[in-house]
Structure 1
Amino acid sequence: MSAANSSVPADQHGGWMSFLKAIASFSGDLSKLTAPSFILSPVSLTDWGEHPEHFASIQAAATPEQRMVVVLRWFIATLKGQYTSRNTSMGSEKKPLNPVLGELFYGSWPATDKRGETKLIVEQVSHHPPITAYHLENKDAGVSVEGHSGQKTSFTGRSITVVQVGHAILRIKRDEGDEVYLISLPKLSIDGLLLGSPYIELTGSTSITASTGLTATINYSGRGYFSGKAHSFNASITSNKSKESLLDVSGTWSGSSVVKAGSLLPLNSVFWDADAIPREELSVKPIEEQGEYESRRVWRNVAEGIRKGDYGAASKDKSRIENEQRQLRKDEAAAGTKHQLKHFEYVESDSDYASLAPAISGLAPTSASYRFKSAAA
């Protein structure tokens, strides 16, 4: 590991090498492996809501084709915040904290003269395996998205591969009936481990398919060992009936992309520029006003330790939280009780998923889901 290129603190190099040896020899899902505090991010639950203006604007598009364009653009716009924000703010990719069962996150983007308020609710609905459910909604615009994401993580010799298990359902309320969009989730490759400067690349492909008979397919590629450009993608919108390509775009999801072909947008026009439109921070209650299981309150001492570089204090409080959770699960088992979800309910078979999944190659025909049940926060 080159000290010049590494983002690992000098006094933590030994711990980093020990962690690499541990993941190389670990059998099974790496999410079960405890990570040292110096590679942790001071956040746990994440979301898709950093561009509420574009999210709300989905409703205003006049035709199904135009609405699919806006949905695709919004989805691409969410990727930078989800997958490179830790790299940007902390110098390299950091492992998010493992949310505890029942952990909650509430936030909102206040109304402006152009849009109504957008609200976000996130809940950790399972710990083993780790699954996060989320609901994002702008009621004034009649647009919402809900879904869940779990992870299956493995080490491939040079990188960590993360298969995101789950899907999202985006819904647009229309006078003629709701439009529904099924969104599949990308695979992640965490590279740069041997240099001590981890970063995320998206791999494979994902799709967005709509009840209107349109599908957007996104193919990801990135910086390889010898060549390639980081965070590259190309995407197309097609009709499910004719398979005719209505739009082709390409570029980088963390930077800019342009229109390469199709009739829906001008040729060579900018499709999305992540650097030109800053992420809009959400509004969250002060920690002292948050409930016991709200995310920033649960992890405040751990987060403070990580930000200050006091990894001993961070590890100590992280262990306290984990031990309390283990005891709580033991107490529930002894009492014959089960953790009750607050905002979501488990659904064995998701009917929206089942109706749209056949349009996406490789998806299972049916899937369980977590359905949003309450707007109370």
Structure 2
Amino acid sequence: MQQARSYMGRRRRRRAIRHVSVESEVDASAADTATATARASAAVLTAPLSLEGGLAAELQPANLVQRVLSLFGNVRPGADLSHFQLPATFNLPKSQLQLYGEIVYCDGDDYLSRCGKGKDSLERFTAIVAWSISTTRPPIFGFAPYNPVLGETHHVSRGSLHVLLEQVSHKPPVSALHATDDGGNVELVWSQHPVPKFNGASIEATVHGKRQVRLPKFNETYEMDCPNLLIRLLPGPSVEWSGTVRIVCKDSGLEAELSYHRSNSFMGMGGDGRCVKGKVFHSSSPQDTVFEIDGYWDRTVSLKDVESGEVLVLYDANLSIANLVTPEVKEEEGLSSTESTVVWSEVSEAILAKDWEKASEAKRNVEGRARSLEKERNEKGEVWMPKHFSLSQDKDGNWDCCPLEKSVRPAPIVVPSPSS
């Protein structure tokens, strides 16, 4: 069992309104101090989602499909499920922040480090495309992560790469990510805003937000989005990624379109739901394809040079997302009380033990504390402020997050090398 200390914060005052960060929230209420200390006493880390999907196999009950269908019996079609509270029996033992982070710091073949090693802009661009595909992880039918509470953080290092996430908004739920490496070769700045909607026979989660990958040494910035998550309830249960992903580098004038879809299906039935197909082209002449992309994101994806006809393997899932290593705590004293693996530790422990009564109670406690702190802020006229990001929204309602620090410091949680 890992030990952690509460992380104290300072309150910032501005005129009659007080701006508070999550650390001051944790310690603001004397009634919550003992509870906060207790939950900061353990960090529970679980295996990342990979091709094996072992966690789901361990937790999956025999009547999962019927139980999932019963959940949505009273939900009307078109309903926004952003704040739909799942029973603990449907939760993976990890937060959504952890899942976002894992697609960056859990990668067997480290496709991210390749992005800054290309000899020209075209080679770097195709490396970015390969890495984007590597962030596609096998979704699991019938299970979902915890909804992060406001101010929750997740901080992990893999080698020289340091990744920091923070839940910067609760209504709507917005997560921010910042990652840098020690050599200044790559920087990631993301904001994530999922909007799941119930469509009667399916649930589709559209992930809004801006994803940027920056290669400072080449003055190149790549902007991209991610596919939608489609959960089919009827006629047969399935879960898959769908939709079109665009990757754009204005600095080099290159662009890619990737279509995630079900191949050879009839009315959404049959076929393979893990197909990805696309192209790379110059933004100035989108009709002229430079490379064709084709394959399956859980197997291999090929890259075909249209001019020469040469075909190469762009991405290999067995190298990237198979046999992933579980992170571990390296420095117990560095753990923040807002760290995801600490905030949800009791819930995760109970889920792993299949003690559903304890898991439900622990989950209610976490969510109840968050509601109490929100009520307390409202009564005191306090406005909560993220600790690590500035948050803004444009006229179209899109959220943008800007890191307050130039680089991410090394984390108390690390991903060990496979040989260690």
* Alignment TM-score, normalising by the size of structure 2: 0.74
User: For residues 93 and 215 of structure 1, do their structure 2 counterparts lie closer, same or farther at Cα, with a shift above 3 Å needed?
Assistant: farther
**Other-structure match for 1:219:** 259
User: For residues 11 and 315 of structure 1, do their structure 2 counterparts lie closer, same or farther at Cα, with a shift above 3 Å needed?
Assistant: farther
Asked if residue 249 in structure 1 is aligned to residue 293 in structure 2, the reply is yes
In the aligned structure 2, how far is the partner of 1:287 from the partner of 1:312? 32
In the aligned structure 1, how far is the partner of 2:329 from the partner of 2:60? 33
User: For residues 335 and 100 of structure 1, do their structure 2 counterparts lie closer, same or farther at Cα, with a shift above 3 Å needed?
Assistant: same
Aligned partner (choices 92, 104, 108) of residue 157 of structure 2: 108
1:318 maps to a residue whose letter is K
User: For residues 13 and 251 of structure 1, do their structure 2 counterparts lie closer, same or farther at Cα, with a shift above 3 Å needed?
Assistant: closer
Asked if residue 33 in structure 1 is aligned to residue 84 in structure 2, the reply is yes
User: Secondary structure at the residue paired with 2:336?
Assistant: coil
Q: What pairs up with 1:1-377 in 2 under 5 angstroms?
A: 9-10=61-62, 15-23=67-75, 25=76, 28-44=79-95, 45=97, 46=99, 47=101, 48-49=103-104, 50-51=106-107, 53-80=110-137, 84=138, 87=140, 92-110=141-159, 117-174=160-217, 178-192=219-233, 198-199=238-239, 201-210=240-249, 211-222=251-262, 224=265, 225-243=268-286, 244-263=288-307, 267-277=310-320, 278=322, 280-281=324-325, 283-285=327-329, 289=333, 290-348=335-393, 367-374=398-405, 375=408
CA contact (8 A) 1:57 1:141 kept: no
In the aligned structure 2, how far is the partner of 1:193 from the partner of 1:9? 19
User: For residues 13 and 145 of structure 1, do their structure 2 counterparts lie closer, same or farther at Cα, with a shift above 3 Å needed?
Assistant: closer
User: Secondary structure at the residue paired with 1:30?
Assistant: coil
Post-superposition shift, 1:38? Answer: 1.2
* Alignment TM-score, normalising by the size of structure 1: 0.82
In the aligned structure 1, how far is the partner of 2:298 from the partner of 2:393? 35
In the aligned structure 1, how far is the partner of 2:404 from the partner of 2:74? 41
Gaps of 5+ in 1: 111-116, 351-363
In the aligned structure 2, how far is the partner of 1:109 from the partner of 1:332? 36
CA contact (8 A) 1:8 1:16 kept: no
1:257 maps to a residue whose letter is V
CA contact (8 A) 1:208 1:217 kept: yes
1:9 maps to a residue whose letter is P
Post-superposition shift, 1:146? Answer: 0.9
User: Secondary structure at the residue paired with 2:311?
Assistant: coil
In the aligned structure 2, how far is the partner of 1:106 from the partner of 1:130? 19
Q: What do the CA deviations read for 1:111-160 (whole angstroms, capped 9, x no partner)?
A: xxxxxx01100100111111110012223152111111111111112210
**Other-structure match for 1:113:** none
CA contact (8 A) 1:59 1:141 kept: no
1:202 maps to a residue whose letter is W
User: Secondary structure at the residue paired with 1:254?
Assistant: coil
**Other-structure match for 1:357:** none
Post-superposition shift, 1:59? Answer: 1.1
Q: What do the CA deviations read for 1:43-67 (whole angstroms, capped 9, x no partner)?
A: 1112231237321221110111111
By relative contact order (CA 8 Å, sep 6+), the higher-ranking structure is 2
CA contact (8 A) 1:233 1:252 kept: yes
1:20 maps to a residue whose letter is F
Post-superposition shift, 1:308? Answer: 1.9
Q: How much is the aligned-residue C-alpha RMSD, in angstroms?
A: 2.7
Post-superposition shift, 1:267? Answer: 2.6
User: Secondary structure at the residue paired with 1:269?
Assistant: strand
Post-superposition shift, 1:105? Answer: 0.4
2:205 maps to a residue whose letter is V
Q: What do the CA deviations read for 1:259-303 (whole angstroms, capped 9, x no partner)?
A: 344258x73322211013446536442695421110000101111
User: For residues 182 and 13 of structure 1, do their structure 2 counterparts lie closer, same or farther at Cα, with a shift above 3 Å needed?
Assistant: closer
Gaps of 5+ in 2: 1-56, 412-420
1:104 maps to a residue whose letter is T
Q: What do the CA deviations read for 1:159-180 (whole angstroms, capped 9, x no partner)?
A: 1011111121111112xx6111
In the aligned structure 1, how far is the partner of 2:259 from the partner of 2:169? 30
Count of aligned pairs: 338
User: For residues 335 and 288 of structure 1, do their structure 2 counterparts lie closer, same or farther at Cα, with a shift above 3 Å needed?
Assistant: same
**Other-structure match for 1:356:** none
CA contact (8 A) 1:56 1:138 kept: no
1:74 maps to a residue whose letter is W
User: For residues 76 and 11 of structure 1, do their structure 2 counterparts lie closer, same or farther at Cα, with a shift above 3 Å needed?
Assistant: closer
CA contact (8 A) 1:56 1:141 kept: no
2:210 maps to a residue whose letter is H
User: For residues 323 and 287 of structure 1, do their structure 2 counterparts lie closer, same or farther at Cα, with a shift above 3 Å needed?
Assistant: farther
